[in-house]
Chain A
Amino acid sequence: MTRFVLRTLAFLPLAFAVWYFAAPILLWPAVLIVRAAVYVGFADLVRAVEQSGAIATFVTTLGAGVAAGKGLVTVDVNLRAYSFGMPLFAALTLAARTAEWKRLLAVGYATLTPIVAFGVLADFLKDVAITAGPAIASQTGFVPWQRETIAFAFQFGSLILPAVAPAVLWVAMHLPFLTTLRDRNSVSV
């Protein structure tokens, strides 16, 4: 167990470095999912979702101000803020040293990407429906229960999912390893 923890801590900086510099590519599929979700569910609110590095920019249909009547609201969302669980999952997977680590990394990445997209979309919706203020929120047409749902989705998508999802996913994908780890420890203690 101790060795596994040390290996995880050793792999974490490497995983974080790869994730940080490769974020524009790694998180591109998450932006695609966000685009699809926006197209299906919020086409009246969003004109386009653009990606610049690790930032997703939502170009909305909302006016920037009643008096001005000009200019559209854009919302930037930091993609890394919702994907820091990816390097954690990678470090845990590499530290487990299973034979099928490449497949597990790929499956983990594919599973975590929609979760990142969820957090990014919830962040955008929270911005326009709640934190941007009444002048902009009133243009969204969201009713109170929808705002409450968005607030919950944002909190869950930012405080819980990015950290918990990789841990739960790793546990679910490494049951034989965990069993081995426990048996090994039981003998040595």
Chain B
Amino acid sequence: MRRFLVVFVVLLALAFAFELTPFAQAHFVTPWTDAVASASAGLMRTFDATITTHGNVIASSTSPFAVSIEAGCNGVEATLVLVAAILAFPAPWPHRLRGIVVGVVAVQVLNVVRVISLFYLGRYDRDVFEWAHLYVWQALIMLDVLIVWVVWVRFVPGNREASPPPLAAA
């Protein structure tokens, strides 16, 4: 467990430092954020034809309210946390890769729900928007990451025999 924690923290710090570089921002984070905005807006257009997007901004042609998806709301950090946790835990590589693919999808799906819910909350009540934006959704996304990781750990091949040592030998 100690090894897991150390590797997790090191991987997370490295990934986060890389994320902040201009290269990563230009080639990964910005396109990713724009894609989150597009995906969210695409879903919203199925029931709200007034939705428009400009890069990372989602707006409505009938309302002055718009949301700009910024760092912390694009799901990148949550994804980094999940990937670092999966890579840090002892498991065969194919299982890790499956966990990363399924996990990233799970995190991003909830993140799109977050973006859509925040857009409509913000249109109707700014105080509720701030509450949900700053506190509630942050906790829910991390809860999602934690649950995905725990489920993934449960299905690590051979973990039934091996898991008491990695999990219980703290």
**A-B complex is real:** yes
Binding site for B on A (CB under 8 A): 1, 5, 8, 12, 16, 20, 78, 80-81, 84-85, 87-88, 92, 151-152, 155-156, 158-160, 162-164, 166-168, 170-172, 175-176, 178-179, 181-182, 185-186
A167 touches B12 (CB 8 A): no
Chain A at the B interface: SS class: helix
B contact residues around A182 at 8 Å (CB): 153-154, 159-160, 163, 167
* A115 to B119 CA separation, bound complex (whole angstroms): 30
Q: A162 contacts B138, CB within 8 Å?
A: yes
The 12 sampled A-B contact pairs (Cβ below 8 Å) are A5-B147, A12-B140, A16-B139, A84-B136, A84-B139, A88-B139, A163-B77, A163-B81, A168-B5, A175-B168, A181-B154, A186-B160
Q: How far is the CA of A178 from the CA of B48 in the complex (A)?
A: 43
Query: What 18 additional pairs, Cβ within 8 angstroms, besides A20-B135, A81-B135, A159-B77?
Result: A12-B139, A80-B134, A81-B134, A84-B134, A84-B136, A85-B142, A88-B142, A152-B17, A155-B16, A155-B20, A160-B12, A163-B139, A164-B142, A168-B5, A175-B1, A179-B167, A182-B160, A182-B167
CB contacts (< 8 Å) of B159 on chain A: these are: 182
Q: A159–B167 contact, CB under 8 A?
A: no
Q: Please report the C-alpha to C-alpha distance between residue A172 and residue B88 in the assembled complex, in whole angstroms.
A: 14
Number of interface residues of B (CB under 8 A): 36
- Is there an interface contact between A178 and B16, defined as CB atoms closer than 8 Å? no
Q: Measured between alpha carbons, how far is A100 from B136 in the docked complex, in Å?
A: 26
Contacts of A179 in B (CB 8 A): 163-164, 167-168
Query: Which secondary structure characterizes the binding site on chain B?
Result: helix
Flag if A178 contacts B167 (CB, 8 Å). yes
Q: Find out whether the CB atom of B143 lies under 8 angstroms from the CB atom of A8.
A: yes
Chain A residue with minimal CB distance to B134?
A: A81
Determine if A1 and B150 form an interchain contact, defined as CB atoms under 8 angstroms apart: yes
Residues of chain B whose beta carbon lies under 8 Å from any beta carbon of chain A: 1, 5, 8, 12-13, 16-17, 20, 71-72, 77-78, 81, 134-136, 138-143, 145-147, 150-151, 153-154, 159-160, 163-164, 167-168, 170
* Cα–Cα, bound, A168→B2 (Å): 12
B142 touches A167 (CB 8 A): yes
Specify which of B20, B139, B163, B164 lies most central, judged by the most chain A CB atoms within 10 Å of its CB: B139
* CB-based contact A181/B12 at 8 Å: no
Closest to B76 in A: A159
Chain B residues near A20: list those with CB within 8 A: 135
> Does the CB pair A175–B138 fall under 8 Å?
no
Q: Nearest chain A CB to B36's CB is how many angstroms away? A: 15
